[in-house]
Amino acid sequence: MRINSLKTAAAEGRPIVNGWLAIPSGYSAEIMGHQGYDAVTVDLQHGMIDFASALSMLQAISATAAVPLVRVPDGTPAQIMRMLDAGAYGIICPMVSTAEQARRFVAACRYPPLGNRSFGPARGLLYGGADYPQHANNEILTLAMIETREGLANIDEILDTDGLDGVFIGPNDLSLTLTGAASAESTHPEMLAAVERVVSRCRQKQKIAGIFCTSGAAAAQRITEGFQFVTPANDVMQLGRASREAIALARGNAIPTTGASGY
Helices (H), 145-205: 149-153, 155-159, 171-179, 189-205
- The residue whose Cβ lies closest to ligand 3PY is 170
Q: Which does 184 bind (CB under 5 to 8 A by kind): Mg ion, ligand 3PY, none?
A: ligand 3PY
Contact between 108 and ligand 3PY by CB under 6 A: the answer reads no
Verify cis geometry, omega within 30 degrees of 0, for the bond prior to 113.
yes
Q: Which is nearer to Mg ion, 124 or 170 (CB)?
A: 170
**Do residues 35 and 233 make contact, with C-beta atoms less than 8 angstroms apart?**
no
CB of 70 to ligand 3PY, least distance (A): 13
Residue type for position 222: R
Q: Which of 30, 85, 139, 147 binds ligand 3PY (CB under 6 A)?
A: 147
The angle subtended at Cα 170 by Cα 165 and Cα 171, nearest 5°, is 130
For the CA atoms of 108, 33, 185, 250, the dihedral, rounded to the nearest 10 degrees, stands at -150
Identify the active-site residue in 34, 46, 135, 188. 46
Q: How far apart are CA 38 and CA 183, in angstroms?
A: 25
Q: Where on the chain is the footprint of Mg ion (CB under 5 A)?
A: 147, 170, 173
The answer to whether 75 contacts ligand 3PY (rule: CB under 6 A) is no
Catalytic residue list contains 34: no
Burial class (CB in 10 A: 0-12, 13-18, 19+), 260: exposed
Reading phi first (left if > 0) and then psi (alpha if -120 to 50, else beta), residue 199 is in alpha
Q: How far is the CB of 154 from ligand 3PY (least distance, A)?
A: 17
Decide whether 105 or 212 has the Cβ nearer to ligand 3PY.
Answer: 212
Q: Minimal distance in Å, beta carbon 88 to ligand 3PY?
A: 16
**Distance in Å, CB of 131 to ligand 3PY, minimum:** 33
- Which of positions 150-179 make contact with ligand 3PY (CB under 6 A)? 170-173
30 binds, among Mg ion, ligand 3PY, none (CB under 5 to 8 A by kind): none
What residues between 189 and 228 interact with ligand 3PY by CB under 6 A?
212
Q: How far is the CB of 20 from ligand 3PY (least distance, A)?
A: 7
Closest residue to Mg ion, based on beta-carbon distance: 170
Tell me if residue 176 falls in helix, strand or coil: helix
**Which secondary structure element, helix H or strand E, spans residue 210, and what is its range?**
strand 208-213
User: How big is the CA angle at 222 (ends 201 and 71), to the nearest 5 degrees?
Assistant: 75
Residue (121 or 171) nearer to ligand 3PY, CB: 171
Number of residues that bind ligand 3PY (CB under 6 A): 7
Best CA proximity match to 120, nearest among 84, 93, 95: 84
Q: Which positions are annotated as active-site residues?
A: 46
Q: Which residues here bind ligand 3PY, judged by CB under 6 A?
A: 147, 170-173, 184, 212
